[in-house]
Amino acid sequence: MLQKDNLINILYIDLSQKKYWIEKRSDLFEKYLGGVGVAIQILKEECSVGIDPLAPENPIILAVGPLTGLFPLASKTVALFKSPHTGNLGESHCGGRSAIALRLTGYGAIVIKGASTSPIYLAIHNGQVYFRDASALWGMTSSYTVGRIIRQNEPATGLRTIMRIGGAGEKLISYAGVTTETYRHFGRLGLGAVFGSKKLKGIVISGKHSIPLLDKQQYRKIYDHIYKEAVSSPVMKKYHDLGTAENTSPLNELGGLPTRNLQTARFEGVKNISGENLAEGYLGRRLACAHCPVGCIHIAALREPYEDELYFYKTSMISYDYEPIYALGSMLGIAKPEGLLKLIDQIEKVGLDAMSTGVILAWATEAQEKKIISEKETGGIQFSWGDYITYIKAVQFILEQPNQFFKDLSQGVEYAAQKYGGYEFALSFSGNEMAGYHTGPAAHIGFLVGTRHSHLDNAGYSIDQKVLTQQRVKPEALAKMILEEEYWRQILSSLVICFFARGIYTPEVCLEALHNAGYDLSKEELINKGKEIHLEKYRFKVQEGFSLDNYRLPERIFDTPSLIGKIEKDYLKKVIEAVKSEIFSEQKDKKNFELK
Ligand code: SF4
């Protein structure tokens, strides 16, 4: 069955030679399903050891899975690359229309290699690739404008996605993202800079291929079950009503909302930037990724009068959710919703990762307060908590890099703190800036040991809240919980399911859905695949120099009490040791896996 499905077709594009070809890789899709499982194998094949992430040899792999286009909420595309931000595995997931358009154009994955000598964008329509001149788009800093122009230039039939970079990607800022459909992103770990290094301004993909079904009756049954759960379960309703912004107030109340560079975990201005307040005062519309009945994307309408014109207003539509609210709101002490939205808008325009940018600006503010840096470095900027106008200016400076200090900020907080000091309050884990959860040890350990250093790797924050608030857990047991969750998420990332639907896509549901895509597996086989894929990702990380032996944990996480109280350093160390021995214990070829 899989042989007949166009999922097994991988489109290879060489930007240096301006040519493309297709390879049938049923070997990869049969063994590793799709998404991250297949992409990590391609990354291993295509990415030589130790290459510069901004060199032409760094491939970009975009992959979808066997359920994409068939079932609701299988709406994400996985991007894999070597990260210019951490120097090891780059992995980012994005929704919008990206996944369905990619599947309907006739491919399970796209591999982009080489680099163009002049700016281009790629147009992939119904499987054909066109190399378009993007000289006129190069230098446009706003990802909004770039998207609008490509949309007008590319009449297409079928479902269409437009991925593009703003000025940050062109400037090779290590935490530049790629925007799709204006409000969705491959946000973390610097895919935008990899695009920029290839002079690739964007990719438009459209398609209208169909996908074969094995058993129509069984398909209807499992489809209806998933759909019903998606539209009626209370968990999904939360995503529709307030979106992830709903988390802001409860996290604050419990004492887990990082505030002013995590000097505290409660924010006095939380009410103004809460999901409830943003919905009541600003919500303009909700959107959904393609093939998702939930619609969790919340868009604020910000109306501002023009200065000299009476009754003339500019209305900006700005997407918000919990992560930018934390990183650009509480973390920077911004309590004014208009200020927060304007800052989000600015970061969105230039195409930076909101979380990394917020954490970097928070470090700079504290560093200036502590006189580690002065206006001499900042070029006259005086950072101050809550001063969103200055932060907007600073974002522009990160983009333009008028002096060495802003050049350094464009490489991330780890880099800046190494150079200027303030390491103890530089909130990065393995080179990636922290997410918005100071809930307890599991959140921070999960972030450190996760394969992409994201809160989504293993949801340690959830283990803190559900388990550690109730009982003390032995280090080995906590390590197991973190890893078990991460193993399972490799399956969801291979299928590629939106993590918000993880409660719906249980192993049993996945197996039934997979049956219709031509896979007949036992539960044990499916779960083992997750473990195997996780190991493959770790193998790549270790190959690129990642080690769990010489990690750094910012002192700040131990100073500020978390949701479950003060975090004990010794306990954390023991859990990390347990994670390490768990990951590597079953290795047959231990030699290749020796941690440095
Ligand atoms: S729940 Fe939200 S992020 Fe997930 S697929 Fe639906 S709209 Fe996209």
CB 296 near ligand 1, within 6 Å: yes
Mutate which of 100, 246, 294, 504 for ligand 1 pocket (most atoms within 8 A of beta carbon): 294
Average confidence (pLDDT) over 537-563: 95
CB 95 near ligand 1, within 6 Å: yes
Tell me, what's the pLDDT at 469? 87
Q: In which order are the strands placed within the sheet that holds 89-94?
A: 19-24, 9-14, 109-113, 60-63, 77-82, 89-94
Span 264-318, pLDDT tens digits: 999 999 999 999 999 999 999 999 999 999 999 999 999 998 888 888 899 999 9
Ligand 1 atom with minimal separation from the 76 CA: 5
Mean pLDDT, the chain, rounded, equals 95
Q: How far is the CA of 365 from the centre of ligand 1 (A)?
A: 34
d(CA 32, CA 51): 25
Tell me, what's the pLDDT at 587? 55
pLDDT exceeds cutoff 90 at 48:
yes
Q: Can you name the residues that pair with 317 across neighbouring β-strands?
A: 301
CB 73 near ligand 1, within 6 Å: yes
Q: How far is the CA of 426 from the centre of ligand 1 (A)?
A: 31
d(CA 3, CA 26): 7
Q: How far is the CA of 239 from the centre of ligand 1 (A)?
A: 8
pLDDT exceeds cutoff 60 at 595:
no
Tell me, what's the pLDDT at 596? 34
Its pTM stands at 0.96
Tell me, what's the pLDDT at 171? 98
CA atoms within 13 A on the CB side of 474: 4
pLDDT confidence bin for 585, thresholds 50/70/90:
confident
pLDDT exceeds cutoff 90 at 592:
no
Domains of the chain: 2-207 (3.60.9.10), 234-421 (1.10.569.10), 439-503+521-593 (1.10.599.10)
d(CA 203, CA 282): 32
Of 165-179, 234-248, 488-502, the least confident: 234-248
List of residues 6+ apart from 418 with CB closer than 8 A: none
Nearest residue to 223 via CA among 332, 71, 375: 71
pLDDT exceeds cutoff 70 at 248:
yes
- b/e for 390-420, b at 16 or more Cβ within 10 A? bbbebbebbbeeeeebbbbbbbbbbbbbeeb
Q: Whose CA is nearest to atom 8 of ligand 1?
A: 289
Span 320-359, pLDDT tens digits: 999 999 999 999 999 999 999 999 999 999 999 999 999 9
Mutate which of 97, 231, 239 for ligand 1 pocket (most atoms within 8 A of beta carbon): 239
Running DSSP on this structure, what letter comes out for residue 466? Answer: I
pLDDT exceeds cutoff 50 at 431:
yes
Who wins on pLDDT, 587 or 223? 223
CB 295 near ligand 1, within 6 Å: yes
pLDDT exceeds cutoff 60 at 47:
yes
Residue 449: asked if its preceding bond is cis (omega within 30°), the reply is no
Q: How far is the CA of 325 from the centre of ligand 1 (A)?
A: 18
d(CA 85, CA 543): 16
Ligand 1 atom with minimal separation from the 296 CA: 2
Average confidence (pLDDT) over 579-591: 72
d(CA 290, CA 319): 17
Ligand 1 atom with minimal separation from the 239 CA: 1
Ligand 1 atom with minimal separation from the 291 CA: 5
Q: How far is the CA of 99 from the centre of ligand 1 (A)?
A: 12
pLDDT exceeds cutoff 70 at 588:
no
- Residue 593 tokens, joined: 């896996």
Ligand 1 atom with minimal separation from the 499 CA: 4
